[in-house]
């Protein structure tokens, strides 16, 4: 197979959107701008100087928090999935060439919303938006496969995962 070009990528993206556009439909049904006044109240960023990173759009963070809630993700897993999944990337409004916030600013944003006590109002408003569109959010889960090495018949006795008698004695003595 030869190298893929720009048009091949556009075709691939088009096919993906046709197959399972769940997040796209979900995103299109919400008036995200209506959340901005609450998000601005809750996103207090005390800057001591103009040095460092620029302020990240609170709407992007809010969309990330919604994905986190919907898919039951930790902050670290949200960061990974947002970088790994094109659908997450597009849902939050970023493309391949944009930087996706890591778990630290996402955590800071959430804490800021809690500290300013707008989180409950945001959740209620979000639920109302869903109901207006005849939608209901049901949390799901992304299950991560883990590879675990196991002993093979060809493995030597040292590679097997057994404790020696001395190790067992030390373990029992420590209990």
pLDDT for res 136: 78
Kindly give the residue spans of alpha helices, DSSP state H, lying in 20-102.
22-28, 36-42, 58-71, 75-84, 86-92
- For the chain, the 3-state helix, strand and coil shares in percent, each to the nearest 5, are 60, 0, 40
Give the number of residues written for the chain. Answer: 175
> pLDDT confidence of 142, banded at 50, 70, 90?
low
| Stronger pLDDT, 19 or 132, i.e. the higher one | 132
The per-residue pLDDT of the chain, averaged, comes to: 79
What confidence tier does 107 reach under pLDDT thresholds 50, 70, 90? very high
Q: Residue 77 has what pLDDT?
A: 93
As to burial, measured by CB atoms within 10 angstroms (0-12 exposed, 13-18 middle, 19+ buried), residue 125 is middle
Confidence check: pLDDT of 99 > 80: yes
Q: Read off φ and ψ for residue 14, nearest 5 degrees.
A: -60, -45
63 pLDDT above the threshold of 90: yes
CA 79 distance to own-chain centroid: 5
Q: Identify how many contiguous H helices and E strands the chain contains and give both numbers.
A: 9, 0
Mean pLDDT of 76-86: 91
Q: From the CA atom positions of the chain, what is the Rg in Å?
A: 23
Average pLDDT over residues 100-124: 90
Query: Is pLDDT at 5 greater than 70 in this prediction?
Result: no
Q: Answer whether 0.85 is exceeded by the pTM.
A: no
What pLDDT is attached to residue 65?
A: 94
């Amino acid at each position: 197979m030869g190298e893929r070009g720009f048009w091949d990528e556009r075709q691939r993206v088009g096919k993906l959107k046709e197959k399972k556009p769940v997040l796209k439909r979900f995103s299109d049904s919400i008036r995200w701008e209506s959340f901005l006044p609450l998000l601005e109240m809750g996103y207090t960023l005390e800057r001591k100087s103009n040095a460092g990173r620029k302020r990240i759009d609170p709407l992007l963070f809010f969309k990330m928090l919604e994905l986190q809630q919907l898919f039951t993700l930790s902050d670290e897993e949200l960061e990974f999935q947002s970088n790994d999944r094109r659908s997450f990337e597009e849902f939050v409004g970023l493309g391949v060439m944009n930087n996706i916030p890591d778990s630290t600013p996402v955590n800071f944003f959430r804490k800021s919303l809690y500290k300013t006590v707008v989180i409950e109002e945001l959740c209620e408003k979000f639920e109302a938006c869903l109901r207006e569109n005849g939608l209901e959010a049901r949390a799901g889960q992304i299950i991560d496969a883990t590879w675990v090495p196991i002993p093979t018949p060809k493995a030597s006795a040292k590679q097997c995962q057994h404790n020696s008698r001395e190790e067992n004695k030390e373990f029992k003595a420590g209990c």
